[in-house]
Structure 1
Amino acid sequence: MLAYRHAFHAGNHADVLKHLVLVQVLRYMVGKDKPFRYIDTHAGAGGYQLKGAVAQKKTEYREGIGRLWSRADLPPLVADYVQLVQRFNLPPAEDGRLPALEKGMTPPLALYPGSPSLASLLLTPFDKLHLYELHPADARTLAAHFGGEKRSRVMQEDGFAALKKELPPTPRRAVVLIDPSYETVGDYSRVVASLREAVQRFAEGVYMVWYPQVSRVEAVQLPKRLTGVAPKGWLHVRLTVAQPDQQGFGLAGSGVFILNPPYTLHQQLAELMPWLTEQLAQYDGASYLIEELPG
C-alpha cells in the first residue's frame, strides 16, 4: 500500500467526480449555522505538482481537469469546482492564504489540490479538519501545508483505525471521506468494515466512499456491499469514461457512495452527470449511473 502515490493520478476523471461531489457536500454543510468536523481517512499530500516528473509519467490530468480548465461555458456546479482548483494555483498572499479569484482570471494549470485542500478552501474558521495519511513522505508534506492552521490536525496514522476515536464528534456534525488506494484487495473489505463500525458509533454522519471502477470483482461488488451497511439514506453515483486495455487493466471510471447525503445532491447530479459524461468521455460507450434510496 505504501508504494501508492496519488500524484500519478492527480486531476484525472476520477478526481473530477470525487471532488465535484465533495464540494457540493461541503457547500451544504457550511450553509448550516453550526460547525462540523471534516475527517479524511486517506488524505494524501494535500496538493500535487502536475508539471512534476511523477504526474508527467501518465499526464492523466489532461483527460480530467485539463478538459475543463479554460472553458467559459461550464455549468455552475462545475464552474464552482474549477474555480476552487484555479484558486489553488494562485500565489498565496503575505498571510499565507490563497487570494480570491478575480473575474476573468485563469491561471496556468500547474497544481492540483487534494481533498484536504479543497475542504480547507470551503470550511469556516470554526470547523475542524482531521487529516490522516500513512505514507511518510505524503504525511510530512501534508503536515507542512496544514501545520500552521489551528483548526487542522494532521496525523500519520491508519485512517481506517482512526475512525474509532473520531466518532462521535463534538458537536455531532461530521463529513467523513474514505478513499484508500485500493492497491490491495483487503482495502475493499476494510472500507465496508470501517463504514459499518462508523455508522454504529455515529449514524447521523455524512459518509463519502470513493472507489475505482476496475476489472476486479471486489470493486464491482463494493457498492452493493455498502448498501447493506446503510439500508436507507444513501446515494450512489458512477461515471464510466474509458475502456480497460486488452488485458483488462486500466481505470474505466469511478464511483462515489454517500451515506446521509444532502437532500439537494440527487437533483444536482441528475442535472450535471449527462453533461460531465459527454465532456470526459474517452470512448463512445461512456455512461453514468445515479441511484438513491432516501432515508
Structure 2
Amino acid sequence: MALLAPKKKANHEMSSSLDLEMKVENKKESFLHYFRRNYMLYMFLAPAIILTIIFKYVPMYGAIIAFKDFSPMKGILGSDWVGFEHFRDFLTSPNFADIFMNTLKLSLYGLLLGFPVPIILALSLNQVRRAAIKKNIQLILYAPNFISVVVITGMLFIFFSPTGPVNSLLTTFLNGPIPFMTDPDYFRSIYILSGIWQAAGWSSIIYVAALANVDPQLHDAATIDGATLWQRIRHIDLPTLKPIMAVLFILGAGGIMAIGFEKAYLMQTSMNIPTSEIIPTYVYKVGLQAGDYAYSTAVGLFNSVINVVLLVFVNFVVKKLNEGEGLY
C-alpha cells in the first residue's frame, strides 16, 4: 500500500496536467474559431490600435532624454547619461514650489468647483418635459464648448479690460476700474469660472444620457407614494448617476496635473506671472523657447508621474468609499 500511494499521486498529477493542457487547447481553438468568425471586427479595430501605438507608445522612447545631457548633434543614444540630474535641478529650483502649487491649485479648484455643475445641469434638464424647450436649452449650454480657446481668452480680455463692460458696470459703485487681467489675485477665479462656463454644458451630456435610461414608471410610482422632487432625485436619479460620477471623478482627479497650457499661456501677462505660471507653460518656455529639451522633458515626465500616482490613489479611495466600484 505504501508503494501504491506515490503512484496514485503521480497519476493524479499527470491527469491534472493533461486536463490543464486540454483546457488551454480548447481555449485556443475557441479563440481561433471566434477570430475566424469575427475577423472583420478586429480589422475595424486595427487602425485605432496602430495609431495609438504610433502616436502614444512610440514617442515614449523620447522620454529617455530626460535622463541625458541631450544634444541634437549627438542624438538620443549618443548623448551623455546624467541620470536624475535634471529632476534634481527642477525640484531644487527657487520657483519649483510656486509653479507646482499654481498647477495644483488651478486643477484642484477647477475639479472641485466644476465637477458638480454638469450633474446639476443634467438633473435640471431631466425635469424639462417639453422637447423643443429642452433642445434649445441644450444648444445654449453646449455652444461654448465649440468656441476656440483663443476666442474665449480674447473675450475675457475684452469683458474684463479697464474700459470693458464689467468695469463699466463696477465703476458706478467703485472709485475706479479693477485690473482683473493683470492682478494675480483674480487670475485663478477668472480662469476656473470661465473654464466651467465653457465645459459644463458639454460635460453634462453623459449624465443626460444616463438619466434617459431611467424607467419613467419609477418616478410615477414615487410621485403616487407622495415623494417630493428632491426625494425622487435623491433615491432614483442620483443612484443611477453614481457609477458614472465615480469613473469621471477618478479620471478628473488623475488628470489634475495635466492641465493644458494654451489658456493659461494666453491669459498670462507680465504682472500676473506669480499665479499664472504653471508646469505646462514652464515646460513650453524652457523646452521650445529656450531649447533646453532634456530639462523640459524631465519636468514633463515628473508631471506625468504625479498624474499616475494621483490616479491610482484616487481610484483606491473611491473604491473603498463606493463599495468596490472604481475605474479598475
Question: Which protein has greater RCO, CA pairs closer than 8 Å, 6+ apart?
Answer: 2
Q: Same fold (TM over 0.5)?
A: no
TM-score (normalizing by structure 2): 0.20
Of Structure 1 and Structure 2, the greater strand share is in: 1
TM-score (normalizing by structure 1): 0.22
